[in-house]
Amino acid sequence: MEGMGDAVANMDALGLMILGAGAAVVLLFVLLFLSMRNSGQAVRAIAPLTQQMTAIGQVAQQLSSGQEALRGNLQTVSDTQANAQLQILRTMETRLGDVQQRMNDRLADNAMKQARAISEMQERMSESLHGNAKRTATSLTQLQERLAVIDKAQDNITKLSGDVLSLQDILSNKQTRGAFGEIQLNDIVSKALPTDAYAFQHTLSNGKRADCLIRLPNPPGPIVIDSKFPLEPYEALRNAESQDEKALASRLLKGALRKHIRDVSEKYILDGETADGALLFLPSEAVYAELHANFSDVVREGFALKVWIVSPTTCMATLNTMRAILKDARMREQAGAIRKELGLLHKDVERLGDRVVNLDRHFGQAQKDLSDIKISADKAGRRAQRLDNFDFEELSADSVGQVVALEPSAE
């Protein structure tokens, strides 16, 4: 409605503007007429001006009639628009009612779905809580079992601590410590060498008993491994606290090492019976590292006396080298037998070649005999066929030089 009122106001303003323009034109012509009344052409100018003023008046009349018609049309459009707006309002109210009803239905459905979802969630939460309770009970049971295992492991640790104390007691005794070193040496040697390549507690010609004798070929010959070691001075050096105690323990350890190395050199290196060297086995890598780190002069003295100090690791490497030497020596021992067998094998191969040649010759002769037999069989077959057909003329012609036609052929 407001749009229609604005359109009517605009049309009224347009009519006023048209009337104002017509009045302005009339005024202009009047002024022109007044300005031309003194001229000689006033009479001729009045007629066209009068006609134009008449035409302008007609146009103004037509514009007034059109304005009235336009005002009526605008009123009709305004009424029609008002009716259309009323219809639209009614339609919108109806649709709003439908939308509101659908929204109420959807809200009701959503409320029911939410209620079902909440119920299902409560059930799942109940099941989850039940499962968590069950898993918690299972975890507690497993925890109790693990605690029992830990208690058992604690008992084993306590037992192991007792075993360690027993090991310390064993190592503190000289005889048991020697037996411990012999057992470790026995384990290493038995894993590295074949059983016929070594002997434990072997008695030498001088009456001394060696902890282990490795039977190496000459050179270098059998070599002795001693597993005894003066551990008391080393323990005193480890337990020393002051510098004076460390110096005293170092002197004692150095003296004990030198004496033991000389004893090994005098007891187990025998000219013509053993190799010109011996091995001193230390059952501890720590003691071996300590000697090479702080008592290298004693190690060099052992080299001079041909007594080589070895740890479990270096002893295994040395035994692997000895195993290679034993293998090479045994290969050299078997070289003569291998050459003899190779000669016999060569003769057997030559004899086999001769027999193959003879067999090939026999096969050739047999093949020739088979060919002759085949020729004779063909001839005998042809003769039998002729006899069967009573072809005596042909038989006589083929039997020239034979006394009887049925006499066996010389071929």
Q: Report pLDDT digits (tens) over 80-120.
A: 888 888 888 888 888 888 888 888 888 888 888 888 888 88
pLDDT band (50, 70, 90) for residue 274: confident
The rounded distance, in Å, linking the Cα atoms of 83 and 367 is: 131
Q: What pLDDT does 26 receive?
A: 65
For residues 45-50, average pLDDT: 63
Question: Among 208, 227, 177, 223, which Cα is nearest to 318's?
Answer: 223
d(CA 179, CA 322): 24
Cα separation, 348 vs 353, whole angstroms:
9
Q: What is the pLDDT of residue 285?
A: 83
**pTM as predicted:** 0.41
Q: What number is the average pLDDT over the span 291-316? A: 86
Please, which residues bridge with residue 309 across strands? 280
Strands (DSSP E) contained in 158-237 are: 198-203, 209-214, 223-226
Say if residue 246's pLDDT is above 80.
yes
Confidence band of 395 (pLDDT split at 50, 70, 90): very low
pLDDT at 388 over 60: yes
Minimum mean pLDDT range among 7-11, 89-93, 312-316? 7-11
Q: How far apart are CA 300 and CA 355, in angstroms?
A: 69
Q: In this predicted structure, what is the pLDDT of residue 48?
A: 67
294-302 long-range contacts (CB < 8 A, ≥24 apart) are: 294/250, 295/250, 295/253, 295/254, 295/257, 298/254, 298/257, 298/258, 298/261, 301/258, 301/261, 302/261
Q: Per-residue confidence at 17, pLDDT binned at 50, 70, 90? A: low
209-214 and 307-310 strand pairing: unpaired
> Is residue 79 pLDDT above 60, yes or no?
yes
Q: Are 323 and 296 in contact (CB under 8 A)?
A: no
Confidence class of residue 122 from pLDDT cuts 50, 70 and 90?
Answer: confident
- Given this model, what pLDDT does residue 273 score? 85
pLDDT band with cut points at 50, 70 and 90 for residue 44: low
Reported as type and span, the H/E element at residue 72 is: helix 42-172
Q: Is the pLDDT of residue 404 over 60?
A: no
Token pair belonging to 181: 């070193």
CA dihedral 34, 35, 38, 42 (to 10 degrees): -70
**Band of residue 164 on the pLDDT scale cut at 50, 70, 90:** very low
Spatial distance between the Cα atoms of 79 and 89, rounded to a whole number of angstroms: 15
- Of residues 181 and 242, more confidence is placed in 242
The confidence band for 390, taking pLDDT boundaries of 50, 70 and 90, is low
- How is residue 4 written in tokens? 């229609």
Higher pLDDT, 390 or 348: 348
State the Cα–Cα distance between residues 221 and 226, nearest whole angstrom: 16
Stretch 148-172: mean pLDDT: 61
Contact 211, 220 (CB under 8 A): no
Residue spans of alpha helices (H) in 213-334: 231-239, 243-268, 285-294, 296-304, 312-333
Q: Please, which pLDDT band fits residue 403 given cuts at 50, 70 and 90?
A: very low
What pLDDT band is residue 298 in, cutting at 50, 70 and 90? Answer: confident
Lowest mean pLDDT among 11-20, 84-93, 334-343: 11-20
Average pLDDT across the chain, whole number: 76
Q: What is the pLDDT of residue 165?
A: 42
Stretch (H or E) spanning 22: helix 2-35
